[in-house]
A and B are shown apart, each in its own frame.
Chain A
């Protein structure tokens, strides 16, 4: 408390950081502890660990951590740019509005990318009609920052047979195996596949003064009440505040980044908790609002100088949205798993990670086993129940009574290709509750994205069978209509014509504007992006600190 610092909006701070999530929380900590003054503008409230509950109705049904359902957000969706977008009940683009962002409510599955992810375009060749490209950095350049995430954010795990090289071991052993992990191992062994422990951004042991996981089971979509989940709220924000250089300013809804005559960002305009317009002056701006919000804000910051939006001379702002596709098979076993207890995932299979030409399409993915829709009772009744049984009456009741304890899902998380036609734009009609143009998502999976999801659904079904499921059913391959993974919309690259930021996250167009979050990613990885977003943020922070110290911002 003694270190709490407050800045006047008219006082020019070194950095205004927009967003306090996976990337923003790390950048705020790194910059403030290096001695720079920082104001973090977070649109959500400042919830602490003690504010998080197990209230399924509030958190899952009423979207408490998202800040409410789509009547608040007004987001629209269409699958083709020629169509008028619809206004669904659930926002297509989903993320937590709270200090710590979606690192607060994510499931904490925590995979590094592998060397291949950074240069697939070179290795596999072009894919026509897509913006498939190499990253402007390599795994080797990012590896020290993955290791920094392991140790500073807090990662539990053990090496697997296909893992990328690491310069230091995991700081903590993996979370113990659950029944779903035992069954996945059993299925994998029969099929000649390799199950390995899941790495988690969850502490299996006390670490850096934080408590270990108590296995309460409320990781996915809930906030961790003991701070064992390695959100930036738990791991970074306290250090940023303790520096005495960082103010976290919650309930600050940013509406615009202003630039001066020299095309430099000079202030961030936002609505405060009372809805009054404020403008925070800053020497530089770090935009880490997530792959949907960062794009929206740049498009909303259009001006006479920047008619197509700020930092958008390439036209790439908002484009190349990638959600990662998914497929899954639900399975029921003879004996209780009680898989709702503990972390979601304890074993994964990475045998299908690499793209394989012999399949006839691009893509790869990882497979895990988890309770998923049998994590909580309402979710089970709504989504996890056996679709072959009527949804009401005695059979419905008896089936839930039998299956809930005995069920797990085998889930594949897969690649998405970068396409011009998958994007975030401003809806021309719909507004959010603050009067901002609503996020409009346009998305249709590339055929290869659906093909790899279908391919892995078959593998999931084989695994369920090999693990000894008494019954199993497929969720089916459905077109993606939104998601939590918000990747690619301000991609990194060396060419200002085909990317938004350079390989150090500096905007090509606005020299004192840095953009770092899921939007920076050039390819989608295989479905667990947060580890990479955090590593990118540590790396960006090093470059930004060096540039600022050299007077080069």
Chain B
């Protein structure tokens, strides 16, 4: 635990775009509201996260929000994917936390090189965020964030994400169920009740 908080602190000090009050206000778009509120509140109060620092949480959430963006339908933000990240890094994926932190630091270094005045990733415009992510997408760090976003969006809600089955609803997956009645789809509906059922 001591190691983790030290890492957190070091990460915090290294980060060039700590959340200022102004940043918090700027990020209060509906899409990012939930997570930035958590992160901003966390500046003053106890963190809502188990292992992620507020800046880390903010960055991961902002990346996830471009992988599965909020459009006319909910995305990673509404699904609470960041809570999956935090839970996973606190449990099954704890062995990958240090690597993820190093990856995030390198990501932020590259961000500063590309956008010296940007602050944090989430401060960029959507187009700038996407353009920057495209420069990162072949790297291990992006792949980890991508995979965790998928898991957080679609894994069972008990893992922290997929809030209210946001992910399942998006793709038409009706979730876990004891069983289903035929017909299941459009094409088998054309034949059921006729010759094929339980011949």
Binding site for B on A (CB under 8 A): 54-57, 61-62, 158, 173-174, 176-179, 181-183, 197, 204-205, 213-217, 333, 335-342, 376-378, 380-382, 391-394, 396-398, 400-401, 404-405
Contact A339 B178 (CB under 8 A): no
With A176-B192, A341-B184, A382-B150: A394-B71 Cβ-Cβ less than 8 Å: yes
| CB-CB nearest in chain A for B73 | A401
Chain A residues closer than 8 Å to B1, beta-carbon distance = none
In Å, the complex CA distance between A41 and B168 comes to: 41
Contact B171 A183 (CB under 8 A): no
Distance in Å from the Cβ of B158 to the closest Cβ of chain A?
Answer: 8
Chain B residues closer than 8 Å to A173, beta-carbon distance = 198-199
Contact B172 A401 (CB under 8 A): yes
In Å, the complex CA distance between A378 and B148 comes to: 10
Distance in Å from the Cβ of A424 to the closest Cβ of chain B?
Answer: 29
In Å, the complex CA distance between A32 and B147 comes to: 48
Chain B residues closer than 8 Å to A339, beta-carbon distance = 184-185
Distance in Å from the Cβ of B191 to the closest Cβ of chain A?
Answer: 6
Contact B137 A392 (CB under 8 A): yes
Sampled A-B contacts (7; CB under 8 Å): A176-B197, A176-B198, A179-B188, A183-B187, A335-B185, A339-B185, A378-B150
Distance in Å from the Cβ of B100 to the closest Cβ of chain A?
Answer: 17
Contact with A along B151-193 (1 / 0, CB 8 A): 1011110010000000110111110111111111111101110
| CB-CB nearest in chain B for A178 | B188
Chain B residues closer than 8 Å to A381, beta-carbon distance = 150, 153-154
Chain A residues closer than 8 Å to B168, beta-carbon distance = 377
| CB-CB nearest in chain B for A212 | B179
Chain A residues closer than 8 Å to B58, beta-carbon distance = none
Distance in Å from the Cβ of B65 to the closest Cβ of chain A?
Answer: 11
Chain B residues closer than 8 Å to A378, beta-carbon distance = 150-151, 154-155
In Å, the complex CA distance between A340 and B75 comes to: 22
In Å, the complex CA distance between A181 and B178 comes to: 23
Distance in Å from the Cβ of A256 to the closest Cβ of chain B?
Answer: 32
Contact B178 A216 (CB under 8 A): yes
| CB-CB nearest in chain B for A405 | B172
Chain B residues closer than 8 Å to A213, beta-carbon distance = 179
Distance in Å from the Cβ of B36 to the closest Cβ of chain A?
Answer: 21
| CB-CB nearest in chain A for B189 | A179
Tell whether B17 is near chain A: CB-to-CB under 8 Å. Answer: no
Chain B residues closer than 8 Å to A401, beta-carbon distance = 73, 170-172
Contact B186 A391 (CB under 8 A): no
Tell whether B24 is near chain A: CB-to-CB under 8 Å. Answer: no
Chain B residues closer than 8 Å to A183, beta-carbon distance = 187
Residue among B92, B174, B178, B187 making CB contact with A182, cutoff 8 Å: B187
Chain B residues closer than 8 Å to A394, beta-carbon distance = 69, 71
The list of the 5 closest CB pairs from A to B, nearest first, reads A214-B179, A335-B186, A179-B187, A179-B185, A377-B154
In Å, the complex CA distance between A178 and B168 comes to: 21
In Å, the complex CA distance between A178 and B185 comes to: 8
Chain A residues closer than 8 Å to B174, beta-carbon distance = 338
Residue among A54, A61, A177 making CB contact with B191, cutoff 8 Å: A177
| CB-CB nearest in chain A for B74 | A397
In Å, the complex CA distance between A57 and B188 comes to: 30
Distance in Å from the Cβ of A178 to the closest Cβ of chain B?
Answer: 5
Tell whether B68 is near chain A: CB-to-CB under 8 Å. Answer: yes
In Å, the complex CA distance between A101 and B44 comes to: 53
Chain A residues closer than 8 Å to B12, beta-carbon distance = none
| CB-CB nearest in chain A for B190 | A182
With A340-B173, A392-B137: A181-B188 Cβ-Cβ less than 8 Å: yes
Contact A215 B179 (CB under 8 A): yes
| CB-CB nearest in chain B for A336 | B185
Chain A residues closer than 8 Å to B185, beta-carbon distance = 178-179, 335-339, 405
Chain B residues closer than 8 Å to A341, beta-carbon distance = 180, 184
In Å, the complex CA distance between A177 and B193 comes to: 11
Chain B residues closer than 8 Å to A181, beta-carbon distance = 188
Given A54-B176, A183-B187, A381-B153, 5 additional A-B pairs, CB 8 A: A179-B183, A214-B178, A215-B179, A381-B150, A392-B66
In Å, the complex CA distance between A158 and B155 comes to: 37
In Å, the complex CA distance between A178 and B187 comes to: 8
Chain B residues closer than 8 Å to A217, beta-carbon distance = 180
Tell whether B132 is near chain A: CB-to-CB under 8 Å. Answer: no
Residue among B71, B177, B187, B188 making CB contact with A397, cutoff 8 Å: B71
Tell whether B97 is near chain A: CB-to-CB under 8 Å. Answer: no
Distance in Å from the Cβ of A390 to the closest Cβ of chain B?
Answer: 9
In Å, the complex CA distance between A527 and B92 comes to: 35
Contact B66 A393 (CB under 8 A): yes
Contact A57 B156 (CB under 8 A): yes
Chain B residues closer than 8 Å to A376, beta-carbon distance = 154, 173
Contact A158 B68 (CB under 8 A): no
Tell whether B130 is near chain A: CB-to-CB under 8 Å. Answer: yes
In Å, the complex CA distance between A337 and B189 comes to: 10
Most A C-beta atoms less than 10 A away, residue of B66, B92, B182:
B182
Contact A216 B179 (CB under 8 A): yes
Distance in Å from the Cβ of B117 to the closest Cβ of chain A?
Answer: 25
Contact A56 B155 (CB under 8 A): yes
Chain A residues closer than 8 Å to B198, beta-carbon distance = 173-174, 176, 204-205
Tell whether B89 is near chain A: CB-to-CB under 8 Å. Answer: no
Chain A residues closer than 8 Å to B171, beta-carbon distance = 377, 380, 400-401, 404-405
Residue among A57, A178, A333, A396 making CB contact with B151, cutoff 8 Å: A57
Tell whether B49 is near chain A: CB-to-CB under 8 Å. Answer: no
| CB-CB nearest in chain B for A216 | B179
Chain B residues closer than 8 Å to A342, beta-carbon distance = 180, 182, 184
In Å, the complex CA distance between A197 and B133 comes to: 48
With A182-B187, A381-B154: A397-B197 Cβ-Cβ less than 8 Å: no
With A61-B151, A181-B188, A342-B180: A397-B69 Cβ-Cβ less than 8 Å: yes
Contact A62 B92 (CB under 8 A): yes
Chain A residues closer than 8 Å to B192, beta-carbon distance = 176-177
Most A C-beta atoms less than 10 A away, residue of B172, B176, B182:
B172
